[in-house]
Amino acid sequence: MLFDLDGTIYVGDEMIDGAVETVEFLRKAGKKVCFLTNNSSKPRAMYLKKLKSMGLNIADGELYTSAQAAYEYIAREHGGKRVYIAATDEVKEDFRANGVTLTEDNPDIAVLTFDTSLTYQKIDKFCRFLHRGAFFIATHADLNCPHPISPMPDVGSFIEMIYAATGRRPDIICGKPYKPAADGIMAKYGLNKDKIAMIGDRLYTDIRFGNNFGFCSVLVLSGETDENMLKKAADKPDIVLNSVKDLM
């Protein structure tokens, strides 16, 4: 069972009611659990630490991020290429630790993550590399990231800004609802698509991801999507729940 994080397991620093108990219930029922997030603002180690501090018992192998999908894709398809990455320092180190050769000059590839340390200088450099022909990878394309006060601009918003400046859109996007994330998950667990369920709060990432690759898609109404949005949406889930707690 694949669980989105933001808006599904927690919002901000608050765990959604019943989320921890639901995960334990599913594990006891013999289900494999994986937490699949598009948020690439932090390295995997920081997500593991955060989830554990919030009371969720999680193993290293139970977390998969859009950043992980990106560096695995680079290793498979562009091994040895030089990469410029717009990212926090911690995420840069995560890419470097997983075999990606990073550079600040003349890269073959430019990678856009949810860089919460983004500056004008980074944007300008990123755009210049795209003008020179660098292959453009985005970790994901969510327009906003859930937050208790108000939604935060996410990579999808950055993509639109870069498109306005360069006329370039990503050559590939690695997170939900795109193929690199699906390839990574199916390889990780060795499961057929009919054995996988995707549980999340966002229609155009979580539910579309499930629908695109034949997974069971389960929408929870604890995050971005409300019933009115669902009625108007083209992406329809197989199952609708108020929250993950209803899985029990």
Q: What is the pLDDT of residues 41-90, one digit of tens each?
A: 999 999 999 999 999 989 988 999 999 999 999 999 999 999 999 999 99
Contact 232, 212 (CB under 8 A): no
Residue 157 confidence (pLDDT) = 97
Chain mean pLDDT for the chain? 95
Task: Give the list of residues 6+ apart from residue 220 with CB closer than 8 angstroms, or none.
Answer: 7, 8, 199, 200, 201, 241, 242, 243, 244, 246
Share of the chain above pLDDT 70, in %: 100
- Among 201, 206, 189, 193, CA closest to 227: 201
Peptide bond into 148 cis (omega under 30): no
Residue 192 confidence (pLDDT) = 85
- d(Cα 41, Cα 52) in Å, to the nearest integer? 18
Orientation of helix 89-97 relative to helix 66-77, angle to 10°: 40
pLDDT band of residue 188 (cuts 50, 70, 90) is confident
Residue 105 has pLDDT above 90, yes or no: yes
Number of other CB atoms surrounding residue 195 within 10 Å: 13
Q: What's CA 156's distance to the chain center, in Å? A: 12
- d(Cα 73, Cα 82) in Å, to the nearest integer? 14
Domains, the chain, ordered by start: 2-66+176-247 (3.40.50.1000), 79-173 (3.40.50.1000)
Share of the chain above pLDDT 90, in %: 87
194-244: pLDDT as tens digits: 899 999 999 999 999 999 999 999 999 998 899 999 999 999 999 999 999
- d(Cα 42, Cα 40) in Å, to the nearest integer? 6
Strand, helix or coil at 145? Answer: strand
Residue 12 confidence (pLDDT) = 80
Residue 148 confidence (pLDDT) = 78
